[in-house]
Amino acid sequence: MKYVTLGNSGLLVSELAFGTMTFGSGNLPTIYKVGQDQAQELVDRALDAGVNFFDTADAYADGQSEEMLGRLIGKRRQDVVIATKAGNRMGPGLVRSGLSRKHLLAACEESLARLNTDYIDLYIVHKTDPFTPLEETLEALNDLVRQGKVRYIGYSNWPAWLAAKAVQMQRERRWATFVNGQMYYSLIGRDLEHEAIPFMQDGGVGLTVWGPLAGGFLSGKYTRDNLNDPDKRLSGFDFLPHDKEWGFTVLDTVRGIAERHGATPAQVSLAWLLAQPHVDSVLIGASRLSQLEDNLKAAELTLSREEFSQLGELTRPEPLYPNWFEAKTRDAVVESALKVR
């Protein structure tokens, strides 16, 4: 297992992180389906493989995921990095969601209790909140850091302009600064490259990837005939938008590369992400030990330069304006003088 520092912080995390969204039971049976004994097996195996980074959220199975992870980590708490998230609805009350000061402070206390810990390593705001002033959210996060209840802070699913505005405000006011963005990124979902990744690289914000297999689609277990199989995840939680037919075309190439390496499509898809210089850590989830074992092997797979480029060109997103305008008007004379490639 390889390790990196998260963003511009000194926090050391494994390049593969273990996501516990599957832990618990509830109204999404294709997602929440891992009981305590099975979860113990998965966490123990992840630790044995060198994973030290575990991710959860208060909203996963109504808090069951946090409770289970807290019990499973137990005495090993000081040896691991735990990330959890807040912002989604946690009850019927009007104020039991969002990124207001009231909700964030309450949500943090509740997560601490469920995780059975007195601090959270990485506290992530799970989504945007258009009804709360940004300043209020950032000041509340800063207070949690100053109180010692949170060590580092991050965001998830924010547009680049809002994250950039937040980091600028944090720096100006000398508040705790975002060190991490947890964002969706996969071979068939590369929208992040338009604006978010350039900002994160410039701002020193580390990227943790969620959904690296596009909800399981890139695992290779789906075909055109079984997409609607009620026992499979996509039948009940087809959350990520993408052209399925194009996705199967991509999978054909992924399968060919996998066969040459004696690997699986999932391993190739994960290895491509791990080779990206702008990726700090990739979240892998599992509901069975065999899935976890398969994903862990991605850390041992190195794609050739040709394979990496082939997948990159096949799935490269069309540039958006003004990016395409900038590319078309580059100054070749200056770039040649500066030896810019």
Read off the pLDDT of residues 260-271 as tens digits, 9 standing for 90 and up: 999 999 999 999
The whole-number pLDDT of residue 72 equals 96
Q: Is the pLDDT of residue 117 over 60?
A: yes
Please report which confidence band the pLDDT of residue 31 belongs to, taking 50, 70 and 90 as the band edges.
Answer: confident
Task: Give the model's confidence band at 341: pLDDT under 50 very low, under 70 low, under 90 confident, else very high.
Answer: confident
Please, are residues 83 and 15 in contact by the beta-carbon 8 Å criterion? no
Whole-angstrom distance, CA of residue 5 vs CA of residue 7? 6
pLDDT at 231 over 70: no
Q: Is the pLDDT of residue 238 over 90?
A: no
- What's the pLDDT band for 276 if we cut at 50, 70, 90? very high
pLDDT score at 237: 57
For residues 307 and 322, give the distance between their C-alpha atoms in angstroms, rounded to a whole number: 30
Q: What percent of the chain has pLDDT over 70?
A: 96
Catalytic residues: 60
- How far is Cα 289 from Cα 254, in angstroms, rounded to an integer? 23
Mean pLDDT, residues 193-217:
96
Q: Is the peptide bond before 322 cis (omega within 30 degrees of 0)?
A: yes
pLDDT reading at 243 higher than 90: no
Residue 61: the pLDDT is: 94
Domains and CATH numbers, the chain: 3-338 (3.20.20.100)
Q: What is the dihedral of CA 297, 299, 300, 306, to 10 degrees?
A: 110
* Paired tokens of 92: 């019927």
pLDDT at 228: 66
Looking at residue 29, its pLDDT comes to 75
- The Cα–Cα gap between 223 and 130 comes to 39
pLDDT higher than threshold 90 for residue 223: no
User: pLDDT at position 47, please?
Assistant: 97
Both tokens of residue 228?
């609607």
User: What pLDDT score does 136 carry?
Assistant: 98
Q: Which pLDDT value is given to residue 236?
A: 54
Q: Whole-angstrom Cα distance, residue 307 to residue 286?
A: 26
Instruction: Tell whether the model's pLDDT for residue 22 goes beyond 80.
Output: yes
Average pLDDT, the chain: 94
Is residue 89's pLDDT more than 80?
yes
In the chain, pLDDT over 90 holds for what percent of residues? Answer: 87
126-136 pLDDT, tens digit each = 999 999 999 99
Query: How many whole angstroms separate alpha carbon 103 and alpha carbon 96?
Result: 6
The predicted model gives 162-188 an average pLDDT of 98
**CB-based contacts of 4, cutoff 8 Å, min separation 6:** 12, 13, 15, 206, 280, 281
Give the residue-averaged pLDDT of 107-115.
Answer: 98
